């Protein structure tokens, strides 16, 4: 929470990137405490590692300091407040944490817990759900990632124009 | 950074370990936390560390860019083909049971193949995106140098 506020306040984008990495690492630690090893591993590798590196790579292309915003955006403040109030109101209806009668335990989850080992013969339920029970979802994810690579390739594989025409296009000089 | 002796010596020890750990969570994913996605990211992270210390050119000599494009497409293709193999052998799309006669072995083979496809795609995509961003900067410098030469 403190780190999240600091990320918003800091104007130095380099420091903000590092704070984001710390935030991801703390989330990974939280997931580990909650016994979600797969999610913790992903959060540590992607959130704290790869995304930080990619943001740093972008920072070498852009300027280091954020341009201070002028004035206040009242409409944005109103939207954020209304959404936040709605979410807090909705959270009052959430079932109690850890209660065995929660709807999440009555759905297909119990089928997976009981039958994964019988169906697959493997102990890691997350892998079984991802790759076998829900493998069309995972196929979609793989295609999303591949599409992302295609998009980045389409945007960045062209040699940039010279500095003069870049300034004309309004791109930021390094 | 290439002149920094401590970095390059430490990296020489650490990078193989990171790559090995990536392979471990790739192929041990059905027994312990992990799987294709995490493995791909960890593997790519080891590769990016290599780029940061030894430079992009050295890294692209090990795994050329063209190979990355081909592999990123092949990973998704492998996933889809495993799905289609289930159809060809008389099941549903992405149904692993028809692959082998023993149901457990069939499921495990399907999961390992599919996760391998995901891992290859994720690793090469992350490497590609990083390569493209990193090269953008050197391109800018090149273009600027050319422009200066023309101006003189």
Residue range A42-98, pLDDT digits in tens: 888 888 888 888 888 888 777 777 666 666 778 888 999 999 999 998 888 777 776
Residue range A100-104: average pLDDT?
A: 65
Angle between helices A135-156 and B103-151 (to 10 degrees): 10
Write down which residue in A63, A86, A103 finishes a domain. A63
Of B41, B1, B35, the residue nearest B18 (C-alpha): B41
User: Is residue A100 one of the residues assigned to a domain?
Assistant: no
Contact B29 A161 (CB under 8 A): no
Q: CA of A85 to nearest chain B CA: how many angstroms apart? A: 35
CB contact under 8 A, A38 and B33: yes
Cβ-based contacts of B125 with chain A (< 8 Å): 145-146, 148-149
- CA dist A131 → A40, A127, B1, B6, B75 (Å): 18, 6, 41, 41, 14
pLDDT at A25: 86
Most A-contacting residue of B133, B142, B146 (CB-CB within 10 A), to test interface: B133
Give B17-62 as a 3 state SS string: HHHHHHHHHHHCCCCCCCCHHHHHHHHHHHHHHHHHHHCHHHHHHH
Find chain A residues with C-beta within 8 A of B38's C-beta: 38, 41-42, 45
Contact yes or no for A163 and B31 at CB 8 A: no
Cβ contact A103:A94 at 8 Å: no
Report yes or no: B80 at the A interface, CB cutoff 8 Å: yes
Q: Is residue A5 part of a domain?
A: yes
Interface test with B, best of A131, A143, A147, A163 (most B CBs within 10 A): A131
Question: What's the pLDDT at A173?
Answer: 46
Write the burial class of residue A25 (CB in 10 Å: 0-12 exposed, 13-18 middle, 19+ buried).
Answer: middle
pLDDT at residue number A108: 66
Q: What percent of chain B has pLDDT over 70?
A: 93
Q: Give the tokens for residue A20.
A: 């984001």
- Give chain B positions within 8 Å (CB) of A41: 25, 33-34, 38
Range of the domain at A155: 121-174
Interface membership of B76 toward A (CB under 8 Å): yes
pLDDT of A105 strictly over 70 = no
In a domain, A149, yes or no: yes
From A129's Cα to the closest Cα of chain B, the distance in A is: 10
| CA gap A149, A142 in Å, rounded | 11
Question: Scanning every residue of chain B, which has its alpha carbon at the shortest distance from the alpha carbon of A138?
Answer: B118
Q: Which residue has the higher pLDDT, B124 or A63?
A: B124
**A101 lies in some domain:** no
Considering the domain boundaries, does residue A59 fall inside one?
A: yes
Residue B144 to residue A46, Cβ atoms within 8 A: no
Cross-chain CB nearest to B125 (options A121, A148, A161): A148
- The count of structural domains within chain A is 2
Among the candidates A43, A63, A83, a domain finishes at: A63
Q: Do A159 and B143 touch (CB under 8 A)?
A: yes
A113 in any annotated domain: no
How much is the average pLDDT of B102-124? 82
Which residues in B lie closer than 8 A to residue A47 (C-beta atoms)? none
Write phi, then psi, for A107 (nearest 5 degrees): -85, -150
CA–CA distance, A95 with A104 (Å, rounded to integer): 10
In a domain, A111, yes or no: no
Residue A70 lies in a domain: no
Residue A164's pLDDT is 54
When CB atoms are compared, the residue of B32, B45, B121 closest to A124 is B32
Distant-in-sequence, close-in-space partners of A166: CB < 8 Å, separation ≥ 6: A160, A173
Q: Is B92 on the interface with A (CB under 8 A)?
A: no
Which of A26, A48, A63 is the C-terminal boundary of a domain? A63
- What sign does the dihedral A148-B133-B73-B82 (CA atoms) show? negative
For position A84, what pLDDT does the model report? 92
Contact call for residues B16 and B49 (beta carbons, < 8 A):
no
At A12 the three-state DSSP class reads: strand
The CA-CA-CA angle for residues A138, A139, A144, to 5°, reads 90
Instruction: Flag whether the ipTM exceeds 0.90.
Output: no
What is the mean predicted confidence (pLDDT) over B97-110? 74
């Amino acid at each position: 929470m403190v780190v999240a506020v600091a990320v918003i306040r800091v104007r130095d984008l380099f420091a903000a990137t590092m704070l984001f990495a710390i935030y991801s690492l703390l989330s990974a630690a939280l997931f580990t405490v909650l016994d979600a090893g797969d999610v913790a591993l992903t959060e540590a590798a992607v959130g704290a590692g790869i995304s930080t590196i990619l943001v740093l790579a972008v920072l070498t292309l852009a300027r280091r300091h954020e341009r201070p915003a002028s004035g206040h955006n009242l409409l944005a403040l109103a939207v954020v407040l209304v959404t936040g109030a709605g979410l807090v109101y909705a959270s009052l209806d959430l079932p109690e944490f850890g209660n065995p009668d929660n709807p999440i335990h009555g759905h297909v989850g119990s089928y997976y817990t009981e039958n994964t080992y019988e169906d697959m013969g493997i102990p890691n339920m997350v892998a079984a759900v991802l790759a076998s029970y829900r493998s069309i979802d995972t196929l979609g994810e793989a295609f999303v990632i591949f599409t992302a690579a295609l998009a980045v390739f389409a945007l960045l594989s062209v040699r940039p124009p010279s500095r003069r025409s870049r300034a004309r296009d309004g791109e930021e000089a390094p | 950074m290439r002149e920094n002796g401590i970095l390059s010596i430490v990296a020489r020890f650490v990078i193989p370990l990171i790559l090995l750990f990536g392979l471990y969570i790739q192929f041990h994913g059905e027994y312990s936390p992990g799987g294709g996605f995490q493995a791909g990211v960890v593997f790519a992270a080891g590769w990016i560390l290599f780029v940061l210390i030894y430079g992009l050119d050295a890294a692209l000599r090990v795994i050329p860019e063209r190979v990355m494009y081909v592999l990123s497409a092949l990973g998704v293709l492998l996933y889809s083909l495993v799905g289609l193999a289930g159809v060809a052998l008389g099941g549903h799309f992405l149904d692993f049971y028809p692959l082998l006669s023993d149901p457990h072995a069939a499921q495990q083979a399907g999961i390992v193949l599919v996760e391998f496809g995901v891992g290859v795609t994720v690793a090469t995509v992350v490497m590609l995106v990083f390569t493209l961003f990193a090269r953008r900067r050197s391109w800018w410098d090149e273009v600027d140098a050319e422009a200066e030469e023309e101006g003189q």
